[in-house]
């Protein structure tokens, strides 16, 4: 089964182009509470999209699902409304899927599921060491429709140097086996264009297939509209590069176990080399 590919944007024109090119989910990122403190020194996407962005994208999306990452579970504060109110606003704006980041406890899962109340699909973004250790209890709460492993924050919580170390040290595989036992769809991390990325996308996609993953985020480098605002070029990029990914996925369905074992070993070798370079 082809991966469900997600792309982060609040630009209706880009979202429409991504939809027409076959992107499965447009990802609106409203998370900002505590994010700067966690990732302040890293070159990561800090979008701080809004409910108005959700409303605007809803107007142009009729095939692609609209996924919204809200803030971690929180009470009302001086500068923000409560999680319950935020989720209500996102539901009313038309979200198909709501993603909860940075959860650590079963109580947060209970509150999240209660606030959504079956009005949209629910996705847990597993990105803390606490969530990794408590994941079975969190899944036992019920009400989660899918889980995505957030490699960036999760590798930071373990003090690792490179996010794909989690793919080669057995952490991702262990979590995938747990999700599989619960019958919950799952995915992990992001992918660049084929032939690109510190860890080339081909190796990552093959690992998705080996592990039974069903979703991945298209990384910022896949199509960075901050560096390329020519919409004709953006459309060309989406169409050509998505086709390459889908063609490669079709090839993977014909591969045998030996191929995936070899790719796993090569991926581990490449990750080790990258970590060694980072540590120099």
Q: What angle do CA 159, 163, 168 make, to 5 degrees?
A: 100
Contact 57, 15 (CB under 8 A): yes
pLDDT bucket at 77, cuts 50 / 70 / 90: confident
Residue 176: give its domain's CATH number.
3.20.20.60
Lowest mean pLDDT among 38-42, 195-199, 270-274: 38-42
Which domain range does residue 227 map to?
4-279
**CA-to-CA distance for 172 and 211, rounded, in angstroms?**
9
**CA-to-CA distance for 37 and 35, rounded, in angstroms?**
5
- pLDDT of 44 > 90? The answer is no
**CA-to-CA distance for 70 and 49, rounded, in angstroms?**
10
Spell out the residues 6+ positions from residue 109 whose beta carbon is closer than 8 angstroms to its own: 100, 103, 124, 138, 141, 143, 144
**CA-to-CA distance for 61 and 74, rounded, in angstroms?**
29
Instruction: Read off the tokens for 251.
Output: 């090839």
- pLDDT of 35 > 50? The answer is yes
Contact 150, 172 (CB under 8 A): no
- pLDDT of 80 > 50? The answer is yes
**3-class SS at 13?**
helix
Instruction: Read off the tokens for 280.
Output: 């120099």
**CA-to-CA distance for 102 and 172, rounded, in angstroms?**
17
> What integer is the mean pLDDT of 28-53?
75
How many structural domains does the chain have?
Answer: 1
CA-nearest of 163, 258, 280 to 219 is: 163
pLDDT bucket at 45, cuts 50 / 70 / 90: low
Count CB neighbours of 107 within 10 A.
12
pLDDT at 223: 82
Length of the chain: 280
Compute CA 275 distance to the chain's CA centroid, rounded to the nearest angstrom: 22
């Amino acid at each position: 089964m082809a991966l469900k590919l997600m792309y982060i944007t609040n630009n209706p024109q880009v979202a429409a182009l991504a939809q027409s090119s076959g992107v499965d989910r447009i990802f609106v990122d409203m998370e900002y509470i505590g994010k700067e403190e966690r990732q302040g020194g890293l070159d990561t996407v800090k979008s701080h999209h809004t409910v108005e962005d959700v409303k605007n994208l809803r107007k142009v999306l009729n095939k692609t699902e609209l996924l919204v990452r809200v803030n971690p579970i929180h009470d009302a504060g001086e500068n923000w409304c409560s999680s319950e109110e935020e989720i209500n606003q996102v539901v009313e704006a038309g979200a198909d899927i709501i993603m909860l980041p940075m959860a650590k406890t079963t109580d947060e899962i209970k509150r999240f599921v209660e606030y959504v109340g079956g009005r949209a699909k629910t996705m847990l973004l597993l990105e803390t060491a606490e969530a990794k250790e408590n994941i079975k209890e969190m899944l036992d709460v019920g009400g989660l429709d899918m889980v995505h492993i957030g490699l960036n924050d999760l590798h930071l919580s373990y003090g690792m140097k490179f996010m794909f170390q989690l793919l080669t040290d057995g952490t991702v595989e262990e979590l995938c086996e747990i999700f599989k036992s619960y019958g919950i769809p799952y995915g992990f991390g992001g992918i660049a264009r084929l032939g690109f990325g510190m860890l080339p996308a081909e190796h990552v996609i093959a690992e998705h297939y080996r592990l039974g993953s069903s979703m991945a985020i298209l990384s910022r480098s896949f199509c960075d509209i901050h560096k390329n605002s020519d919409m004709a070029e953006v459309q060309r990029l989406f169409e050509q590069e998505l086709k390459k990914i889908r063609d490669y996925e079709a090839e993977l369905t014909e591969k045998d176990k030996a191929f995936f074992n070899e790719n796993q070993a090569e991926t581990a070798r490449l990750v080790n080399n990258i970590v060694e370079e980072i540590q120099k």
